[in-house]
Structure 1
Amino acid sequence: MGNFSHQNDKSITPEALKSLGRYDFPDPMTIDPDGIGVVAMGGDLAPETLISAYAQGLFPWFNEDEPIAWWCPEPRCVIAPTGYQPSKSLRKQANSARWQLTLNQAFDEVIHACSLPRSNGLPEGEHTWIHEEMIAAYIELHAQGYAHSIEVWDDKGQLIGGLYGLKIGGIYFGESMFHKASNASKLAFWGLMRLCGQSKVALIDCQLPNDHLMSLGATTLPRADFLTQLDVLLSHQPVKWHNHSHKPLAVSLLDTTEPWRLK
């Protein structure tokens, strides 16, 4: 299919997004009626394949030495930006910290940081499920305007946290986050909520629920409801984030009316 830059996607309908690439993904509700989660195996991580999969509610999740597995879990973990409320302690930290948020300034660094082991027992130097094949695929999606990162920088200019994911229409598909300083990933998440709210992104897909996401205000939707909402959200035309990657935001401004300077 070649390059299909997001900058020229105004004419791409949800149906066209789903038909990108060379694979026909099965209907999750038909192929996986029991809600196990895995709906397909194989294929590749070409940009067209990934966009087609996400547009159908699927995402890749597999270890480096395994075939590509495409997931559509039941239920689906999501959060609406308008319903997010930061904790009092996070507000206090944002008001006092001299940290900054940026958009799309260090995508490569963020995804590599997300790939490194946490407290999960992996040997030093080993990666999580975000291995080199995945990293290369999402870096290409970033180059084409679909994948985005939010970075957190301390007052010495050091990258201390961030997150990345994909934005298609009115939905953001969150992939991973990291922190090197306390609450840095939570501030990135708050920044994402405010950015989505300002740019008419109505839903963040968090994929699978966990205690951390639920503590941030995430909830779950039945898979069928998520897929129904997805069809509507794909057709939205929100503000394109790549136009605003050069404008840093002081974390102390997160609690203002419209912190991000969007056109």
Structure 2
Amino acid sequence: MSHLWQQNHNPITPETLKSLGRYDFPDPATIDPDGIGIVALGGDLASETLISAYAQGLFPWFNEDEPIAWWCPEPRCVMVPAEYIPSKSLRRQAKKERWQLTLNQAFDEVIHACSLPRSNGLPEGEHTWIHQEMIDAYGKLHAQGFAHSIEVWDETNTLIGGLYGLKLGGIYFGESMFHRASNASKMAFWGLMRLCEQSQVALVDCQLPNEHLMSLGATTLPRADFLHQLDSLIVSGAEHWHSDSHQPLAVSLLDTAHPWQSGK
């Protein structure tokens, strides 16, 4: 599927991406006029289905052994990378830590870590939606060049935090993050914001608002506004990310100009 971005003579259109799967997803405004958020049940998690769904503003969110549920919440939680401002305390910590950020170096480890039960006050069972079926599906998207992870490593080269999500053109659809050291997930998020800004990724979709995301500077958009922007974002000329596209980054450099350097 990564060949989609290599068709120089046939530019990718929103319709191309939306029609990849074999399912016709309903219009969220028509099927869910009250903004409850769930717009469809069933289907599968094939790569084509997922790309088609995300291109239409939908994402899967369901517990194991339940039908696949497709969501398009109202409102939509988003972050504009160019407007992200890290806290003063996070800036101070970054300057003194000897941690490093990497891109796409431990996707499997990150998604598995994100699937584990949380101990940070999130509701019991919050982790259950990242079950094996989801792990397998996003692992395939990663192998195809669509799903990406950012990892945080300490000075002993131990994975202490990270996040993963899906990138289409100029939008990154964030899925989940984790930490094993204080503020490690926030460092990963800051790294994502800087990488997106450098790569012409104009918007990060955070899906559903929560206290943690809002504390990081996320905001909300009416669903109609989000979907209106989506068509142009998914086919924008943003830089493509691959496994060796960016060198490891010391977190102490996050606050400098263009911190992420191109890979070899």
Residues 50/29 of structure 1: CA separation in 2 closer, same or farther (3 Å cut): same
Equivalent residue, structure 1, for 2:96: 96
Residues 98/6 of structure 1: CA separation in 2 closer, same or farther (3 Å cut): farther
Aligned length: 258
User: What one-letter code is carried by the residue in structure 2 that aligns with 1:48?
Assistant: E
Alignment of 1:67-146 (within 5 A): 67-119=67-119, 120-121=123-124, 128-146=128-146
* Cα distance between partner residues in 1 of 2:2 and 2:197: 26
> Does structure 2 retain, via aligned residues, the 8 Å contact 1:104–1:245?
no
Which segments of 5 or more consecutive residues in structure 1 lack a partner in the other structure? none
Aligned partner of residue 145 in structure 1, secondary structure? coil
User: What one-letter code is carried by the residue in structure 2 that aligns with 1:259?
Assistant: P
Residues 246/228 of structure 1: CA separation in 2 closer, same or farther (3 Å cut): closer
Residues 185/78 of structure 1: CA separation in 2 closer, same or farther (3 Å cut): same
Q: Deviations over 1:119-163 (max 9, x none)?
A: 3445xxx95210000000000000000000000000000000000
Equivalent residue, structure 2, for 1:235: 235
Matched, 1:13 2:7: no
Equivalent residue, structure 1, for 2:201: 201
How big is the shift at 1:240?
Answer: 1.0
Aligned partner of residue 73 in structure 2, secondary structure? coil
Alignment of 1:36-51 (within 5 A): 36-51=36-51
Residues 9/48 of structure 1: CA separation in 2 closer, same or farther (3 Å cut): farther
* Cα distance between partner residues in 2 of 1:93 and 1:234: 34
Greater Cα offset, 148-157 or 226-235: 226-235
* Cα distance between partner residues in 1 of 2:249 and 2:108: 20
Aligned partner of residue 190 in structure 1, secondary structure? helix
> Does structure 1 retain, via aligned residues, the 8 Å contact 2:246–2:262?
no
Aligned partner of residue 128 in structure 2, secondary structure? coil
**Which portions of structure 1, spanning 4 or more consecutive aligned residues, are displaced by more than 2 angstroms?**
3-12, 119-122, 243-246
How big is the shift at 1:235?
Answer: 1.8
> Does structure 2 retain, via aligned residues, the 8 Å contact 1:7–1:145?
no
How big is the shift at 1:6?
Answer: 5.3
Q: Deviations over 1:71-127 (max 9, x none)?
A: 0000000010011000000000000000000000000000000000003445xxx95
CA RMSD between the two structures:
1.5
Aligned partner of residue 128 in structure 1, secondary structure? helix
Matched, 1:155 2:155: yes
* Cα distance between partner residues in 2 of 1:23 and 1:178: 32
Equivalent residue, structure 2, for 1:28: 28
